[in-house]
């Protein structure tokens, strides 16, 4: 009965904190860490102590690695072998080597230095993805690259699942080499067992289960596969998570991948939350007065080493300096998977609890500082990059162009369509986009498309935006659209602005920001569908056009009702 009370207490505190954190747009992983700190043995108040808790929390990492494996099947890894595979592997390897070497020179043992380097090499995909989405930079070149590398880090961290436990059992270089060789041989054996099990047994098994059309049976089968694969590698002396990753990677090649991921998500999210709660319970605030300076130094080492390493490897891959620095600032933040590696190292007794407290606190400090680095990445990167990289479109690119009649912000699907219509009508225009591939495609289409951010005042001045007859904002990001309209209102208030919006709420915000009209795509597509239906029912076209115009003149209110709007959200 005591265990039931503790579980209720755990769930109650978790729900309260997660609701608060989601309202404040704080990553959920930090919320779970706070729950662990509050209910852990090192703070005053109630303590949750359930014997099975640690076992359940460990399976959070197991299901996380299984989900990662689903998204990185062998064909996908082969397709990504150049840019993302190369950059992701180089970032983890070089960060681990740089940090590990510095700590070894500072007096730590090679094994401890290696583990800390591996922990510091990880970045938080959750924090990066959420922060970029809030800032409207998730579709930018540095945003896509940074998020892709951070996700791929989880794959490159898989070898650490093999190496770290070995470091805790081997003594001496000869013994370590032998243990590593044996571990790698076991890993190859595990790969072969899981590979052939999926090819020969699991695909027919899932076909048979799918024919039963039972979601319950399908979910049970997925759980069986995950746990069986984890048990296989555990029996060979490897980690549970490694087997789950192999099973996910093999199932990722099958036609059942998406349904498997959907079935496993509830278990993964809950168990992963328990894992972070367990990590939070490890944090001892009483040690903070004597380790805070070491933790701050560790956080500084983590941030600085990753910024320098990522900037160098991205720059050498052919990206311009500004994108390289902005990507580096995104990836500087510590990562949740680093906590998983730290927990494995503590269980294997590779590092002692005191050093573990320092590393844990350093990663937490880096997460707090990393949020600020991501938020102000453009301003910081502009100062770090060479002066030539500060202004995205060189002035000479614009010098030869006549003053455009129309400015287009964004050359995606909508921007391209508008460009085609304007060119067909003989209207001069220039479009700007921050994606080099879109710019290249636009120029291949024969359109005046240049690299640049339409929200940049310097770009608007160079493009002589004040001479334009119209500005059209077609970017997908609502945040960037608001920023672009505000910049256009400040620089050239006499130029009318129309914009694309996702829904009615976004449309109202863009109009309030200064757009003459913002067309909500969701509602406009419904109106077009309705108009087509009326024409097929032989309603006169004139009547249909008048009806649609009335709806638009009344800001779509005749077709908007509160319950429908809430469902759309």
The answer to whether the CB of 144 falls within 8 A of the CB of 153 is no
Examine residue 390 and state whether it is found in any structural domain, yes or no. no
Instruction: Give 2-28 pLDDT, tens digit per residue.
Output: 778 888 898 999 999 999 988 887 777
Distance CA 86, CA 88 (A): 6
Q: Which of 77-86, 241-250, 536-545 shows the lowest per-residue confidence on average (mean pLDDT)?
A: 77-86
Q: Spell 12-39 as b/e; 16+ CB within 10 A means b.
A: ebbeebbeebeeeebbbbbbbbbbbbbb
Q: Are residues 346 and 428 in the same domain?
A: no
Q: What angle do CA 187, 188, 191 make, to 5 degrees?
A: 85
Where does 121-172 have alpha helices with state H? Answer: 125-135, 141-156, 158-167
Q: Are residues 232 and 346 in the same domain?
A: yes
The answer to whether the CB of 327 falls within 8 A of the CB of 314 is yes
pLDDT at 362 over 80: yes
Q: Which of 106-110, 175-179, 274-278, 395-399 shows the lowest per-residue confidence on average (mean pLDDT)?
A: 395-399
Alpha-carbon dihedral sign for residues 366, 369, 372, 376: negative
Q: Are residues 421 and 359 in the same domain?
A: no
Q: Are residues 451 and 359 in the same domain?
A: no
407, β-bridge pairs: 430, 471
Higher pLDDT pick, 93 / 70: 93
pLDDT at 522 over 60: yes
Percent pLDDT > 70 in the chain is: 85
Q: Who contacts 524 (Cβ-Cβ below 8 Å, separation ≥6)?
A: none
Domain count along the chain: 2
* The pair of three-digit structure tokens given for residue 410, joined into one six-digit string: 């964004």
Q: Are residues 261 and 403 in the same domain?
A: no
Q: Are residues 215 and 194 in the same domain?
A: yes
Q: Dihedral through CA 130, CA 134, CA 139, CA 145, nearest 10?
A: -40
pLDDT at 399 over 70: no
* The pair of three-digit structure tokens given for residue 159, joined into one six-digit string: 């070898």
The pLDDT-based confidence of 77 (bands split at 50, 70, 90) is: low
**Average pLDDT score, the chain:** 81
pLDDT of residue 392: 46
The answer to whether the CB of 336 falls within 8 A of the CB of 29 is yes
- Phi/psi of residue 549, nearest 5 degrees: -65, -40
Examine residue 272 and state whether it is found in any structural domain, yes or no. yes
Instruction: Give 553-569 pLDDT, tens digit per residue.
Output: 666 666 655 444 444 33
Q: Are residues 371 and 501 in the same domain?
A: no
DSSP single-letter state for residue 169: T
**429 in helix, strand or coil?**
strand
Q: Which of 163-167, 237-241, 332-336, 373-377 shows the lowest per-residue confidence on average (mean pLDDT)?
A: 237-241
Instruction: Give 28-58 pLDDT, tens digit per residue.
Output: 778 888 998 898 888 887 888 766 676 777 7
Instruction: Give 402-437 pLDDT, tens digit per residue.
Output: 667 899 999 988 889 889 888 888 888 999 988 777
Distance CA 362, CA 554 (A): 56
Examine residue 18 and state whether it is found in any structural domain, yes or no. no
The answer to whether the CB of 466 falls within 8 A of the CB of 494 is yes
- Domain end position, chosen among 343, 365, 384: 384
Q: Are residues 276 and 366 in the same domain?
A: yes
Nearest to 393 by CA among 328, 294, 460, 318: 460
Range 291-318 average pLDDT: 92
Q: Who contacts 71 (Cβ-Cβ below 8 Å, separation ≥6)?
A: 151, 252, 261
450, β-bridge pairs: 432
Structural domain including 434 reads: 395-568
**469 in helix, strand or coil?**
coil
Q: Which of 93-102, 353-362, 549-558 shows the lowest per-residue confidence on average (mean pLDDT)?
A: 549-558
Examine residue 207 and state whether it is found in any structural domain, yes or no. yes
The answer to whether the CB of 558 falls within 8 A of the CB of 550 is yes
Assign residue 479 the CATH number of its domain.
Answer: 3.40.50.720
**554 in helix, strand or coil?**
coil
449, β-bridge pairs: 431
- Domain end position, chosen among 329, 349, 384: 384
Nearest to 320 by CA among 371, 387, 370: 387
* The pair of three-digit structure tokens given for residue 404, joined into one six-digit string: 């455009």
DSSP single-letter state for residue 201: I
Examine residue 47 and state whether it is found in any structural domain, yes or no. no
Distance CA 480, CA 136 (A): 6
Q: Are residues 402 and 375 in the same domain?
A: no
* The pair of three-digit structure tokens given for residue 230, joined into one six-digit string: 């984890």
Q: Are residues 374 and 422 in the same domain?
A: no
* The pair of three-digit structure tokens given for residue 81, joined into one six-digit string: 């072998």
pLDDT at 398 over 70: no
- Domain end position, chosen among 384, 410, 441: 384
Q: Are residues 372 and 420 in the same domain?
A: no
**463 in helix, strand or coil?**
coil
Q: Who contacts 87 (Cβ-Cβ below 8 Å, separation ≥6)?
A: 145, 149, 313, 314, 317
Distance CA 24, CA 18 (A): 10
Examine residue 442 and state whether it is found in any structural domain, yes or no. yes
pLDDT at 116 over 80: yes
Task: With residue 529 as reference, give the H or E element that holds it.
Answer: helix 521-536
pLDDT of residue 309: 94
Nearest to 328 by CA among 27, 71, 94: 94
Distance CA 22, CA 17 (A): 9
Nearest to 163 by CA among 191, 136, 182: 182
Q: Are residues 431 and 353 in the same domain?
A: no
Assign residue 242 the CATH number of its domain.
Answer: 1.20.1530.20
Give all strands of the β-sheet with 429-433 in edge-to-edge order.
Answer: 449-451, 429-433, 406-409, 470-473, 497-501, 517-520
Examine residue 494 and state whether it is found in any structural domain, yes or no. yes
pLDDT of residue 82: 57
DSSP 480-509: HHHHHHHHHHHH-TTS-EEEEESSHHHHHH
Q: Who contacts 380 (Cβ-Cβ below 8 Å, separation ≥6)?
A: 325, 329, 373
Range 365-379 average pLDDT: 88
Percent pLDDT > 90 in the chain is: 17
Give the range with max mean pLDDT: 94-103, 167-176, 456-465.
94-103
Range 90-97 average pLDDT: 92
The answer to whether the CB of 90 falls within 8 A of the CB of 308 is no
Examine residue 161 and state whether it is found in any structural domain, yes or no. yes
The pLDDT-based confidence of 103 (bands split at 50, 70, 90) is: very high
Higher pLDDT pick, 277 / 80: 277
């Amino acid at each position: 009965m005591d265990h039931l009370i503790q579980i209720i207490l755990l769930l109650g505190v978790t729900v309260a904190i997660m609701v608060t954190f989601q309202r404040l747009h704080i990553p959920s992983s930090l919320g779970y860490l706070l729950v662990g700190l509050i209910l852990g043995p090192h703070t005053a108040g109630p303590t949750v102590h359930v014997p099975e808790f640690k076992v359940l929390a460990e399976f959070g990492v197991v299901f996380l690695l299984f989900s990662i494996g689903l998204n990185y099947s062998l064909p996908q890894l082969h397709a990504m072998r150049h840019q993302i595979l190369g950059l992701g592997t180089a970032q983890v390897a070089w960060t681990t080597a740089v940090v590990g070497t510095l700590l070894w020179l500072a007096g730590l043992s090679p094994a401890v230095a290696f583990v800390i380097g591996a922990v510091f090499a990880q970045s938080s995909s959750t924090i990066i993805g959420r922060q970029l989405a809030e800032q409207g930079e998730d579709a930018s070149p540095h945003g896509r690259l940074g998020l892709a590398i951070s996700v791929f880090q989880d794959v490159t961290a898989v070898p650490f699942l093999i190496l770290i436990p070995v470091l805790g059992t081997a003594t001496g270089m000869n013994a370590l080499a032998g243990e590593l060789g044996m571990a790698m041989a076991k890993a190859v054996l595990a790969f072969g067992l899981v590979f052939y099990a999926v090819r020969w047994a699991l695909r027919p098994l899932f076909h048979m289960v799918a024919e039963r059309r039972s979601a319950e049976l399908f979910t049970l089968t997925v759980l069986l596969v995950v746990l069986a694969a984890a048990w296989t590698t555990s029996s060979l002396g490897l980690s549970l998570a490694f087997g789950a990753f192999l099973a996910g990677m093999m199932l990722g090649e099958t036609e059942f991948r998406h349904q498997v991921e959907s079935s496993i998500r509830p278990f993964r999210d809950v168990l992963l939350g328990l894992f972070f709660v367990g990590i939070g319970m490890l944090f001892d605030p009483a040690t903070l007065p004597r380790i805070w300076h070491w933790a701050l130094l560790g956080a500084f080492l983590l941030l600085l080493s990753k910024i320098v390493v990522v900037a160098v490897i991205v720059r050498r891959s052919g990206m311009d300096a500004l994108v390289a620095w902005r990507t580096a600032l995104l990836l500087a933040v510590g990562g949740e998977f680093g906590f998983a590696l730290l927990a494995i190292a503590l269980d294997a007794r590779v590092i002692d609890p005191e050093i573990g407290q320092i590393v844990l606190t350093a990663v937490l400090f880096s997460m707090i500082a990393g949020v600020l680095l991501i938020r102000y990445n453009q301003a910081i990167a502009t100062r770090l990059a060479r002066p030539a990289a500060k202004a995205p479109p060189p002035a000479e690119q614009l010098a030869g162009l006549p003053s455009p009649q129309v400015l287009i912000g964004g050359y995606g699907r909508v921007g391209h369509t508008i460009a085609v219509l304007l060119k067909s009508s003989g209207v001069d225009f220039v479009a700007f986009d921050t994606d080099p591939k879109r710019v290249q495609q636009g120029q291949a289409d024969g359109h005046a498309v240049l690299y640049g951010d339409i929200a940049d005042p310097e770009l608007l001045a160079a493009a002589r935006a004040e001479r334009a007859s119209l500005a059209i904002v077609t970017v997908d990001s609502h945040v960037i659209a608001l920023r672009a309209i505000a910049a256009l209102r400040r620089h050239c208030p006499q130029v009318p602005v129309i914009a694309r919006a996702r829904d009615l709420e976004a449309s109202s915000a863009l109009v309030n920001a200064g757009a003459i009209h913002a067309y909500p795509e969701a509602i406009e597509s419904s109106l077009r569908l309705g108009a087509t239906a009326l024409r097929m029912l032989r309603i006169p076209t004139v009547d249909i056009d008048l009806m649609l115009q009335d709806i638009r003149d009344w800001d779509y209110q005749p077709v908007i009702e509160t319950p429908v709007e809430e469902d759309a959200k």
